[in-house]
Amino acid sequence: MRIRGLPMRGGREVAISAVFTALLVVSILFLPWILLTSGRLGPSSAKEWPFLAAAKDGGGYPVSFAYLISASTGDAERAARLLAALYHPANSYLLHLDREAPAEEHRRLAELVSGQPVYGRVGNVWIVGKPPLVTYRGPTMLSTTLHAMAVLLRVGRRWDWFVNLSASDYPLVTQDDLMEAFSRLPRDLNFIQHTSHLGWKIKKRARPVILDTALYEADRSELLRPSPNITTNRRGLPTAFKLFTGNIPFRHAVDLST
């Protein structure tokens, strides 16, 4: 009896195993479709995304960052790639694509951003609508950064540090690791070079008088620099304060700057 029953039990086990295998295969095949379509159900399904409650205003996390991602002609794909690599619901992101980039590239960047449902759900990604011309290392680059700071201060989300990046950058650590490291630091800490002895930067950047043509022309060109032999076109260093360089200012410093 036991010998005759073995094939029956074995047959049932094989049948049950086949059913579970089929269900597993179907689940694996349809899981990506479920995840993609669930992102298009609209704001009414926010309960399905429990992290949204903590992420809506940037709170609920130990620290958060405000990122400016600057891009120029040909950088739309790289800017979107950098955004995806940096993305975290606690942070805020502002993308600036130079006005010199063709309209098609501006549309492409908008499509790449709007194609990610989580960006819209959390509401922490923005694109500058009417970007100005920007000259690398010129005054227009500084004005663009100050404008981005002002926008990120006024969007109503909490953040602790401002980070200025270009589309050619790429992170070496995850945002969770970065938050963990910065959570141990005072919130009023700026990151600057420890010395005001700037070396070549004094001669090349602090003293020369330059002209940024993007301030008054429709088409950008290179910075206009006077001949190094013309000493009258060089300025003296400020006497009321010392020059330092650095990055990643904290929020209150950004507020004072704008």
Q: Which one-letter amino acid corresponds to residue 6?
A: L
Going by C-alpha positions, the residue among 167, 170, 169, 145 that lies closest to residue 75 is 167
DSSP 3-state helix, strand, coil percentages of the chain (rounded to 5)?
A: 45, 10, 40
Sort residue 199 into left (φ over 0), alpha (ψ -120 to 50) or beta: left
Q: What is the pLDDT of residue 221?
A: 54
Q: Please indicate, yes or no, whether residues 185 and 102 belong to a single structural domain of this protein.
A: yes
Is residue 47 within 8 A of residue 89, CB to CB? The reply is no
110 & 218 share domain: no
- Which residues in the chain come in under a pLDDT of 50? 1-9, 14-16, 19, 23-48, 228-232
Q: Are residues 169 and 106 in the same domain?
A: yes
| Same-domain check for residues 111 and 219 | no
Q: What is the pLDDT of residue 156?
A: 79
| 210, 223 contact by CB (below 8 A) | yes
**107 within domain boundaries:** yes
Angle made by CA atoms 142, 146, 152, in degrees to the nearest 5: 145
Residue closest to 85 by CA, chosen among 203, 183, 175: 175
**Domain that includes residue 118, residue range:** 56-189
Residue 228 lies in a domain: yes
Residues 107, 216 within the same domain: no
pLDDT confidence of residue 188: 79
How high does pLDDT run on average in the chain?
A: 73
Inside any domain, residue 16: no
What pLDDT does residue 215 have? 67
For residue 247 the two structure tokens come to 């990055």
User: Does residue 208 share a domain with residue 121?
Assistant: no
| Structure tokens, 82 | 């950098």
Give the model confidence (pLDDT) of 202-235 as tens digits: 776 667 776 666 666 666 555 555 554 444 467 7
pTM exceeding the 0.85 threshold for the entire prediction: no
Backbone phi and psi for residue 220, each to the nearest 5 degrees, phi listed first: -80, 145
* Predicted local distance difference test score (pLDDT) of residue 4: 43
- Report the alpha-carbon distance of residue 10 to residue 76 in Å, rounded: 59
Task: Please check whether residue 145 lies inside any domain of the structure.
Answer: yes
Are 250 and 161 within 8 A, CB to CB?
Answer: yes
Total domain count, the chain: 2
Alpha-carbon distance of 83 to 114, in angstroms, equals 12
On whether residue 49 sits in a domain, the answer given is no
